[in-house]
Chain A
Amino acid sequence: MILQLDKMTVRQGDFSLSADWSVKRGTRLALIGPSGGGKSTLLSLIAGFFEPDEGRLLIEGRDMRGVAPGRRPVSLLFQENNLFPHLSVARNVGLGIRPDLRLTREQHEAVERSLQEVGLEGMGARMPAQLSGGQRQRVALARALLRDKPLLLLDEPFAALGPALRAEMLDLVAGLLERTGATLLMVTHDPRDAERIADQTALVSDGKVTPPMPTARLLADPPAALRAYLG
């Protein structure tokens, strides 16, 4: 099990979210549900930006309580602002190797290779403002690739892209996962995204994350809460 949520609950004011399930290594899990339901909160918990109030959160069998975000085996892509605007593409990616950016020649080459893998060959010297929205998220993916953490969390980084580009990005992610063997947790509000990339899907609504189910089965026969959301 790469990720275990053991009777875990978090509370923020009136809002609470609980989950009690686990995920096998190599799974691609989509988290679907209405906005404000807690999808992003769940990713923030796993990434270590908050701690659960009750229960345990384990990654690779290790209890994550008190483990700082930087020490968790996790990469998270936000919806936006994944890049520092005043650093070049290559430096933004290089932060994934060493935050002080003192890179060796081999490390510079590794940066260039990972840019190649996301289709941004030779763009290392550009600044984020010179890139399109899709290209910026590719840079963030390149950094995640370089960090090579076993758990990749996507908090709707492709939501602002058009349908064709979004599908292209998801296919790119799928290809990268195939090669690295990392596990994916991806927030989405579109069932087509889940169908495209995720073998498992969990529903986040009414303060609960239901245990993951095979995506095809869940969408073929949605429970009442999911039906209400899908319309």
Chain B
Amino acid sequence: MAERAEQVITPALVAGLGAAALVAALSLGTVAVVAGAAVSPMRLGAGDWAALKFTLSQALVSAALSCALAVPVARALARRSFAGRGLLVTLLGAPFILPVIVAVLGLLAVYGRGGLVSAVLVHFGYAPLSIYGFRGVVLAHVFFNLPLATRLLLQGWQRVPAEHFRLAAQLGMTTRDINRVIERPILRAVLPGAFATIFLLCVTSFAVALTLGGGPRATTIELAIYQAFRFDFDMGRAAALALMQFAIGALAAVLAWRMAQTRAQDPQLAPEVHRWDCAGFPSRVADSLGLLLVALFLLLPLAMVLIDGLRGIALLDGRVWLALGRSVLVALASAVLTLLLALALGLAAVSRRQGAIAGGFESIGFLSIAASPMVIGTGLFIILYPLVDPASMALPVTALVNAAMSLPFALRATLPALRQAEATHGRLADSLGLGGGMRFRLLHWPFIRPAAGFATGLAAALSMGDLGVVALFADPDAATLPLYLYRLMGSYQMTAASGAALLLVAASLALFAVFDRWGRAAR
């Protein structure tokens, strides 16, 4: 103990400081660069202010709809037991690693002008739907975030001790009493955090706006940054917009941080609770209908991608395989980097001797949740432009930025396991004099390996499907798979795009599964 206490500068501290510096440089340093290059807000045009308004309004509506719809779904899932319940809960987790562009393609195949719903409408003499613009952006955001809100709420339900539902049954509570005494407090505890989190995600989302938005009335700030870059090459304006984006993101992140006290956990682990109050026919029908609609809402677009994709694969040429190869390389590099950053920050954060600064390491790891890929990308572009051809750096920059974006999720998964390792066996390790590498191998790693595998898999899948910063930098001949897919969509080769989408989903899932398996592999 005494020996370890004297040794103030440990390798863990150095690694932690290095990782913290890198993350801070990426998320805050780029903002400083951007601020230096920005034009005065006075020079922003009406279109830019419209983008601000659109960003906020679509995020508000998306978050409100996702939360409101999640309430009946989560309640139905919490109080019913049926075959396939576990599967449905798993399905609710799927959108998280589903590449955004794939979901958009699926949504277009169902709700788009040439989609299923429009086909039915046209058949009966109505006009076809159009989901480009506000409606499409909100639809896609609800597609991604309704499952998230449902899972957060379900976790809230599962934190209620089973005794409380039994007590309610014994006291003869009706569904209405249970709603008032048990369920409303859950909603009050979970909904504000869920709303703020989803609002943040919708404010910083880029690919949805890129594919479904656009035009003067449906451009988000993220999209406006991209357009200022790619089409106008107006770096000053792009930088001013990036500052605006950063301010909103930071504000939303602070709100989400203060309101979300929910921990990431797997909702499947908790047992179903038997309920005696809601055996009546109407409530059963309502619950079944709600669950069925949600399952359809999530599955139909995916099924369409699968069906169209199988036809489309034959249309793909050699370029798609090159794009796939580049994407896999980027994803692997990004995943490994995410894991290293998470470990470096996590170990520094749990190291008890660092005291006050330990909390600092944790906070820095979550910084990038407020940053947006476009803001970081703008900053990096401004730095790199005088030095090299930014296009030649597209893949390394993408891997780096994706690692920073995945870091909050990776920390969220691994940090509790690290804390637990220290809490339960830290003193034992101290008394045995375990320090440095041995402490990591014997104490930390066995505890965090499953979480680390999960987090690395997640990072790989997120990076695989990412269509963000790469769109700023990439050179048409060196596209990643999502960008290639976006170009196919842009030239209306929808069937080929579906083929590429199928390939992209398969690769994302495979990467996730490989790392997750590796984490769970028997020691």
Contacts and interface: CB of A to CB of B under 8 A. Distances in A.
B161 A80 contact: yes
Contact of B164 (A68, A84, A96, A147): A84
Q: Name the residue among A47, A49, A74 with the largest chain B CB count within 10 angstroms.
A: A49
Given A84-B181, A86-B185, A95-B181, A100 B166 contact: no
B161 A81 contact: yes
A75 interface: yes
Contacts of B163: 78, 80-82
Nearest to B167: A82
A77 to B, nearest CB: 10
* Size bracket of the B interface: 20 to 34
A96 B168 CA distance: 10
B147 to A, nearest CB: 28
A10 interface: no
Nearest to B162: A81
B172 A99 contact: yes
A70 B161 contact: no
A76 interface: yes
A99 B164 contact: no
Interface in A16-65: 44, 47-49
Contact of B177 (A47, A72, A82, A100): A100
A96 B170 CA distance: 9
B313 interface: no
B276 to A, nearest CB: 5
B174 interface: yes
B171 interface: yes
Nearest to B173: A99
B352 interface: no
Tell me the dominant secondary structure on chain B's binding face. helix
Interface in B160-199: 161, 163-164, 166-174, 176-177, 180-182, 185
B172 A78 contact: no
B109 to A, nearest CB: 45
B172 A84 contact: no
B58 to A, nearest CB: 34
A170 to B, nearest CB: 21
B159 to A, nearest CB: 11
Contacts of B167: 78, 81-82
B258 interface: no
Nearest to B176: A100
A225 interface: no
A99 B174 contact: yes
A44 B172 CA distance: 16
A70 B164 contact: no
Contacts of B425: none
B274 interface: yes
Contacts of B166: 44, 47, 49, 69, 76, 78
A81 B182 CA distance: 13
A74 B176 contact: no
B108 to A, nearest CB: 45
A76 B166 CA distance: 9
Nearest to B188: A86
A47 B169 CA distance: 10
Contacts of B171: 70, 95-96, 99, 147
Contacts of A68: 169, 172, 276
Contacts of A81: 161, 163-164, 167
A98 to B, nearest CB: 9
Nearest to A75: B170
A96 B172 CA distance: 9
Interface in A125-160: 147
Contacts of A49: 166, 169, 274
Nearest to A155: B163
A71 interface: yes
Interface in B379-426: none
A74 B172 contact: no
Nearest to B189: A86
Nearest to B279: A68
A70 B274 contact: no
Contacts of A74: 170
A71 B171 CA distance: 8
Contact of B169 (A69, A82, A87, A96): A69
B93 to A, nearest CB: 28
Contacts of A84: 164, 181-182, 185
A69 B164 contact: no
B2 to A, nearest CB: 38
Nearest to B169: A69
Nearest to A47: B170
A49 B273 CA distance: 11
Nearest to B172: A70
Contacts of B161: 80-81
Interface string A90-115: 00000110011000000000000000
A78 B171 CA distance: 14
Contacts of A95: 171, 173, 181
A183 to B, nearest CB: 17
Given A70-B172, A75-B170, A99-B171, A87 B164 contact: no
17 contacts: A44-B166, A68-B169, A69-B166, A69-B170, A74-B170, A78-B163, A81-B161, A82-B163, A82-B167, A95-B171, A99-B168, A99-B171, A99-B173, A99-B177, A100-B174, A100-B176, A147-B171
Given A99-B177, A99-B181, 13 more contacts: A44-B166, A47-B170, A68-B172, A70-B172, A72-B170, A75-B170, A76-B166, A78-B166, A81-B161, A81-B164, A82-B163, A100-B177, A147-B171
Interface of A: 44, 47-49, 68-72, 74-76, 78, 80-82, 84, 86-87, 95-96, 99-100, 147
Interface of B: 161, 163-164, 166-174, 176-177, 180-182, 185, 274, 276
